[in-house]
Amino acid sequence: MSEVHVSERLGDGHIDIATDAGIVIARHRLATAGSGAQVRDHGHVVALDTLTQAGASSSRRPHRRKERIPPGETARNAAEALRRNTTTTHPATPTEASVIDLSVYDAPHRTGPNSHDHHQCDSC
């Protein structure tokens, strides 16, 4: 069996698996850092599922992930509490929110055909 090399370039969002000769034989997408997610290729999912099913005995209960378990009493009570929630919220600001035009701060720094000779920025 030959060795492979796994490399990741910062910011690329994938890893490359290459032979000793440098030929990339596989590229895998990475999940966003810190998301706790795993990215699996469809072929990997099928292979893992096939392996799991082959090792499972028909006399044993199915893998928990495959079972459809109805919600328990605690979950049903929580759902009912959400359905009965009549709390109304009032935003801290009126719906006609203030709009601040930040282009006045950018105007003094603009140059070129679209720049304006006047600006309203008091801090410049």
Q: How far is CA 80 from CA 32, 35, 41, in A?
A: 35, 31, 39
Cβ neighbours of residue 98 closer than 8 Å, sequence gap 6 or more: none
Per-residue pLDDT of the chain (124 residues; tens, 9 = 90+): 678 899 998 888 889 999 988 999 888 888 887 787 777 777 777 877 887 777 666 666 666 666 677 889 999 999 998 888 877 766 665 555 667 777 777 777 666 555 555 545 555 4
Residue 108 burial (CB count, 10 A): 15
Q: What is the pTM of this model?
A: 0.33
